[in-house]
């Protein structure tokens, strides 16, 4: 017995010593990071605006930084070089998803193109359907007339406000415009109305979904606390998404009921195409897949696009000379009594620079969606351990003084004559991500933002209400998955020319 005890003790000692050496070796190659408190680690240093607090920490600990957030190992990326390693060089091993507690509360991580791992067949199918049925060049071209129609409706509404000398809620009208574009592509109907409170409720629901998904949650750091829902994120997520799912189910039921009564195939929308795939014994998708795919389209397509338009208008109102420069370019391309068309945008390099500069300063998803390392991987000489959460702080990269001159100033001119773009090849400007996880809706989003911005600037001059001067314009932001302007932008339109109805 004594010899057996000695043998087992020796084995235990050898095992623990080897394990300690391995962990010590790994710890020695982990990215640097701030000191950690017992149990909570670095949670106290995150705050309500993680993109800002993490950017501040990176100034001390470098462009690749490790944090311990409760039980969660996290690595924060804060430079273009490190971002390129994550988004391109090691994209395959770092393209998993670290889903949040609120996302798991509705099982969205099991049926979402945004949250499923790319290694799964389900992700590949949903990604293919999104690309081919909604975001392919052919589909985007087919919906050009729809976008033009919705822009004219926007201009008409703003014109009526101008006649009454009323301030326009830029956040609301841009959201309704994008909402109706997306809802027509998906369901062939308008979801929003500029004169209806229902549109406000829909906007609040979508924003509530994004905030619940993105706000810091104790259960993400200590999974055993999930059932307590201390921040109320699970409750908020379930409430918001159930409202959306009820709307989706209503359209699905109506289309299924009419399927055998109509033979018209000239106006097939996204939902029609998806429902066709549910037919037969070997159907590729079911109604649950459709609900979650539609949730992705609404959450990712409406809120992010409309908030970018609002930030762009806010920056231009804060910089009147640059607004005048953008308007002069639009006037020179469109003429004095025309209508802005999508084909005009390619002839407006300054407007395109305005959009890029807005996305640099105000990326819609400032930390992108959290990635998960599917194995140990070396980034710039440091080890990112398996199962670690990887956050790419595109907000910090966009304001890095080592990358950008006058990084906090709104200067669209910095992009003139340069090839840098937002399509994922330039890692100093990747608001839509890059690699396999790049946002599939990027081509449509960029078209809508530029067209809406050009339409508002062509038809109207703009001024701030209540005697607010441009220098004092509030630019406070609220963090969720998307970055919103805390206080929505209101501006008074002044009609420049007759509006073509």
Domains of the chain, residue spans: 33-495
What does pLDDT average to in each consecutive run of 10 residues of the chain (501 residues)?
Answer: 36 38 53 95 92 96 96 97 96 93 94 92 93 93 96 96 95 94 94 82 86 86 89 93 94 85 68 89 87 90 92 97 97 91 97 98 94 95 96 97 96 95 95 93 96 97 91 88 89 81 53
* Residues forming a β-bridge with 69: 41, 72
In whole angstroms, what is the distance from residue 25 CA to residue 22 CA?
5
Q: Which fold has domain 33-495?
A: Cytochrome p450 (1.10.630)
Report the pLDDT value the prediction gives residue 284, as an integer from 0 to 100. 84
CA distances, 109 to each of 13, 120, 134, 445, 499 (Å): 41, 12, 21, 24, 46
Q: What is the pTM of this model?
A: 0.90
For residue 344, how many other CB atoms are within 10 A of its CB?
A: 19
Q: Which residues contact 480 (CB under 8 A, 6 or more apart)?
A: 207, 210, 211, 212, 213, 214, 215
* Residues forming a β-bridge with 461: 494
In whole angstroms, what is the distance from residue 79 CA to residue 77 CA?
6
| Cβ burial 187-206 (10 Å sphere, 16+ → b, else e) | bbeebbebeeeebeebbebb
Residue 177: CA atoms inside 13 Å, Cβ hemisphere, count?
32
Report the pLDDT value the prediction gives residue 260, as an integer from 0 to 100. 64
């Amino acid at each position: 017995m004594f010899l057996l005890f000695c043998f087992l003790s020796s084995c235990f000692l050898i095992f623990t010593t080897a394990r300690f050496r391995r962990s010590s070796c790994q710890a020695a190659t982990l990215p640097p990071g701030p000191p950690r408190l017992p149990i909570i680690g670095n949670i106290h240093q995150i705050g309500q605006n993680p993109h800002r607090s993490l950017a501040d920490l990176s100034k001390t600990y470098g462009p690749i930084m490790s944090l311990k957030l409760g039980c969660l190992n996290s690595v924060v990326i804060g430079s273009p070089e490190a971002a390129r390693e994550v988004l391109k060089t090691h994209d395959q091993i770092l393209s998993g998803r670290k889903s949040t507690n609120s996302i798991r509360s509705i099982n969205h991580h099991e049926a979402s193109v945004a949250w499923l791992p790319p290694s799964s067949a389900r992700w590949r199918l949903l990604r293919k359907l999104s690309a081919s049925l909604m975001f392919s060049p052919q589909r985007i071209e087919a919906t050009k007339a729809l976008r033009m129609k919705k822009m004219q409706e926007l201009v008409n509404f703003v014109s009526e406000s101008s006649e009454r000398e009323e301030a326009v809620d830029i956040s609301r009208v841009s959201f309704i415009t994008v909402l109706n574009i997306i809802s027509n592509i998906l369901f062939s109907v308008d979801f929003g109305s500029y004169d209806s409170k229902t549109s406000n409720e829909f906007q609040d629901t979508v924003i509530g979904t994004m905030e619940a998904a993105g706000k810091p949650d104790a259960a993400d750091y200590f999974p055993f606390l999930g059932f307590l829902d201390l921040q109320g994120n699970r409750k908020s997520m379930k409430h918001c998404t159930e409202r959306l799912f009820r709307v989706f189910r209503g359209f699905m039921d109506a289309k299924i009921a009419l399927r055998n009564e109509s033979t018209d195939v000239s106006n097939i929308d996204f939902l029609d195409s998806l429902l066709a795939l549910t037919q037969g014994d070997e159907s590729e998708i079911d109604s649950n897949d459709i609900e979650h795919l539609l949730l992705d389209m609404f959450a990712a397509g409406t809120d992010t696009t409309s908030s970018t338009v609002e930030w762009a208008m806010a920056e231009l109102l804060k910089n009147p000379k640059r607004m005048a420069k953008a308007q002069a370019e639009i006037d020179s391309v469109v003429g004095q009594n025309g209508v802005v068309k999508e084909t005009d945008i390619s002839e407006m390099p300054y407007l395109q620079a305005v959009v890029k500069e807005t996305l640099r300063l105000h990326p819609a998803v400032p930390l992108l969606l959290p990635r998960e390392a599917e194995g140990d991987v070396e980034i710039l000489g440091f080890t990112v351990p398996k199962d670690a959460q990887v956050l790419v702080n595109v907000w910090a990269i966009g304001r890095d003084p080592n990358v950008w001159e006058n990084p906090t100033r709104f200067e669209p001119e910095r992009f003139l004559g340069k090839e840098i773009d937002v399509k994922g090849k330039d890692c100093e400007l990747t608001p839509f991500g890059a690699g396999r996880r790049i946002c599939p809706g990027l081509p449509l989003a960029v078209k809508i933002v530029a067209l809406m911005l050009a339409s508002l600037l062509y038809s109207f001059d703009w001024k701030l209400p209540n005697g607010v001067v441009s220098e004092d314009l509030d630019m406070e932001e609220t963090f969720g998955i998307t970055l919103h302007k805390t206080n929505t932008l209101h501006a008074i339109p002044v009609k420049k020319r007759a509006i073509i109805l």
